[in-house]
Structure 1
């Protein structure tokens, strides 16, 4: 059975069951971004600051987020962002989500151009998780 880390990243994909275990077997670093408590752009940027372990000097804007995700000095060559509670976030904040997804997909495309991988994995809380 194919799994997500067997192929190059393609957009925002559903997170596999036990993503950290699968990622470890493929030498992929996983960073968890918790979207559950996001209320606005400020708290969204804080979620990335915390999830990516960024310094407080992080600019907390779309350009800064893109730069961090595409900077070879700041991130591993094989990185997966686990977007926790993504579906609920998308429903609650459609405009903010549209901006976020544009930045994430642009960063994913730029990573691919430089022979790096950025997986974007949408993970839902266990209560909603459907196992295929």
Structure 2
């Protein structure tokens, strides 16, 4: 079975079983963003602020999020963003999920252009990949 880290990042993907353990074996740094309490753009930006361990100077907008994810000074060359509870968030907040996904995909493409890797992994509590 091919593992997610065997291939180049390709958009939003289902997280593998035990993603943190698997990532360690591939020398991929993982940060987790929990979407369980996200209800609007402000709480979304706060989830990224906490999940990425950002400072309060984080701009809390799409451009600032893109910049943080593509900054080689602050992100490792092999980096996975574990999006916890994202499928449920997406189904409840489609209008907020659309610009977020565009930002994440753009950041992933820029990382690739720079010779870096940014995986965007969706993890659900029930670990059911068909849930999203």
Superposition TM-score tier, normalisation by shorter sequence: over 0.9
SS at structure 2 position matched to 1:69: helix
Query: Which ranges in structure 1 are unaligned for 5 or more consecutive residues?
Result: none
RMSD of the alignment, in Å? 1.2
Corresponding position of 1:93: 93
Alignment of 1:1-132 (within 5 A): 1-126=1-126, 129-130=127-128
1:17·1:131 contact (CA, 8 Å) conserved in 2? Answer: no
Shift of residue 65 of structure 1? Answer: 0.2
1:131 Cα shift? 7.5
Q: Contact (CA 8 Å) 1:29, 1:78: kept in 2 or not?
A: yes
Scaled by the length of structure 2, the TM-score of the pair is 0.96
> Aligned equivalents of 1:86 and 1:131: distance in 2?
11
TM-score norm. by structure 1 comes to 0.96
Count of matched residue pairs: 130
Q: CA deviation at 1:74?
A: 1.0
Deviation at 1:115, TM superposition (A): 0.3
**Conserved in 2, the CA contact under 8 Å of 1:12 and 1:119?**
yes
Unaligned residue ranges in structure 2 (runs of 5+):
none
The answer to whether the Cα contact below 8 Å between 1:46 and 1:60 also exists between their aligned partners in 2 is yes
